[in-house]
Every structure is written in C-alpha cells, then in structure tokens.
Amino acid sequence: MFVDFEKWHGCKNDFLIVWLHPNDQEIVLNSLKRQASKICDRHSGVGGDGILVLHYSTSTPLMPHKLTIINSDGTIALNCGNGLRCAAMSILRNNRLKGESDFLPELIDLDVEGSHMICRFLESDPGHQLVSIEMPNIESGDKLSWAKETKEKIDLLSSSYNFTIDSVNCYQIGNPHVVIETPDCSEALMLKVGKELQSGLPIDGINVHITQTKDINPKDNTKARSELGQSIGELLDVWVWERGVGPTQACGSGACSVGIHTLSLGFVDRKDWIAIDMPGGRLYTQQKNIADPVTLAGPAEFVYGGKVEI
C-alpha cells in the first residue's frame, strides 16, 4: 500500500505529513507507527524527525481537526511546536491548491492528544510569513514529580563533564523538558548530557536544552521587525536533544521552555519577544502574563511531495 506524503521542515526540524482519510485511520496510523523508524531513516528511508498525521472528516476534507505526532522511533509525542507550524502551513497550502486560492483562516484549531492547539498566521513582510502557536498547559519547577531527580543528576553530570551551571529548571509543555543555562554551551556538551539524561530518571526520556544568552546586534532587530513587527528583548543560543529522536535542528516546545526560563530570571520585559537560535534557525517566544499560554512563532517550509510504501 502506498501513502501520499508531504515533506516539510520548521527550522530544519523535518517531518513527513500524511493526510489521513477517515476510512484509513486505524490501519494506516498503526502501520506508520510500526514503520516510523524505517521511514524516517536518513539513509534507507525518506528521512525525517517524525511523521505528522492530519485527521480530517469527509465533510471538511481541507480542514483537519486532529494531529497525531509520531516520533522517529514510533512513539507518540504529546506536543511539537515545529510540527504544528508545518501542519498549519500544509493546511494553508492545500486550501490554496485545492480550495480557494486566497483562503487564509484566522486560526487553525488542532486536537493533539486531547489538547487543543491554536495556530495563527502572522502578517509580516512578503516572504517572511510566520506561524504562531499558543502552547498551553505549562507546568514547571519542583512540583513536577521528576524534576528533583533530574536536577540532581545534572549536578552530578556537571562534575563529571566539568561544566558550569548558571541556572537550571524543568518544564512540562506536553513533553518533559529541562533547560540548562551554562557559559559552556556547545553541541559537544549537549551530546553528552542529552544522552545521559535519557535513562535513570522516573520518566521515559526528556528533551534537553543547553543554552546561553548572546548579544543582540542591529541586524537581529531588523530581522525581528520584518518578521514580527517589533524588536526583540533577548537572544539565546540553544542546542537540542529531543527524546525519541536524539540531536535535532530545532524544537518548538523546547524553545517555549527556554523562553519561560528566561522570563523567570526577571531580566526581560514580558511585552518583548525572545529570539532563540537553534542549529536549524531562529524561533521566537512571548508570554505577556505568567498565566497565559506561551506564544511560539517561526517559519515552516514545504520541501517536496511523494509516496511511501507501508
């Protein structure tokens, strides 16, 4: 059986997107989960960090209501900011190709494992269109059952690998995250610490973000004004290890965790956007009030379409 797919990426965090016909939901979805590692293999498969399955009904074929996020190892993710942006842009593209050419919905509401995720298209300079997502249900700190043991293990790792911790905290945005701010921020450190934190904790893997702040130059604010309509208040470098995947080019919910962590330190005005540079590109986060969802903004780009045998 062959299934049509689209290849998309958000800051080089790449996915296959499958629009799932209502009649095929059980058979195709289970096959995609079983074969995810084969399909996502970058040498013998299509290649990708995961598979995004858009569920639609026959009454509204161009407006899916649900998104299933399959990691490259076949497990199901509870959230994925980069994947959500890709899914939203896929919906927009298909409406323009198959529906009304000028269709631009005010928002797209997708059910992701029981959570409603709201996606909006930002008005920006031509060629710089971004998608923003409201990321709700944020938990943080020691009230998370796994946070204390995670921090203790990071303290041990800082001694083993000789790196300095400026600050560290844990976050739950669908998936579990830990943000480690360190002046020793590097890809090499992420590879060591990220791998170590995937076992020996009371959770099944964790998204790890190694970060540090950096100076904002005039080009950074010119870019932000063209994409967001305003300047940024903070800029950070981040290296990412994503559970169920490994080192990745970007992580949307991880960027939100980094943004919340930065705000918690009290050096950024809440009205400002925070820019987060990951290996695959730049994302933005904003949270105007501490009880609000975090807004994540960034690009999503179509790569190509094809068919895969399952």
What is the rounded CA–CA span in Å between residue 37 and residue 102?
37
Query: Going by CATH, does the domain composed of 2-135+300-309 fall within 2.60.40.10?
Result: no
What's the mean pLDDT in 67-85? 93
Tell me the pLDDT of the chain averaged across its residues: 92
Give CA–CA dist 244/182, Å, rounded. Answer: 24
| Res 238 pLDDT > 70 | yes
pLDDT in tens, 158-211: 999 999 999 999 999 988 999 999 999 999 999 999 999 999 999 989 999 999
- Mean pLDDT in residue range 35-45: 96
* Banded pLDDT at 127 (limits 50, 70, 90): low
Q: Is the pLDDT score of 230 beyond 80?
A: yes
Task: Give the model confidence (pLDDT) of 81-100 as tens digits.
Answer: 899 999 999 998 998 888 76
pLDDT digits (tens, 9 = 90+) for 101-112: 565 667 899 999
Question: Could you give the CA distance from residue 211 to residue 171 in angstroms, rounded to a whole number?
Answer: 15
Do the beta carbons of residue 70 and residue 76 sit within 8 Å? yes
Q: Does 52 have pLDDT greater than 80?
A: yes
Compute the chain's Rg from CA coordinates. 19
What number is the average pLDDT over the span 104-128? 81
Same fold, 2-135+300-309 and 138-292: yes
**% of the chain with per-residue pLDDT over 70:** 96
User: Where in the chain are the domains?
Assistant: 2-135+300-309, 138-292
Hey, which residues does 273 pair with through a beta bridge?
A: 232
For the segment 46-75, the average pLDDT, to the nearest whole number, is: 94
Q: What does the pLDDT look like over 20-34, one tens digit per residue?
A: 988 888 899 999 999
Asked if residue 291 has pLDDT above 90, the reply is: no
Q: Which CATH superfamily is domain 138-292 in?
A: Diaminopimelate Epimerase; Chain A, domain 1 (3.10.310.10)
Tell me what percent of the residues of the chain surpass a pLDDT of 90.
77
Rounded CA gap, 185 and 15, in Å?
27
Q: Show Cβ contacts of residue 28 under 8 Å, excluding neighbours closer than 6 positions.
A: 1, 3, 18, 20, 310
Please tell me the predicted confidence (pLDDT) of residue 229: 87
Whether pLDDT at 292 is above 60:
yes
Strand partners, 170: 178
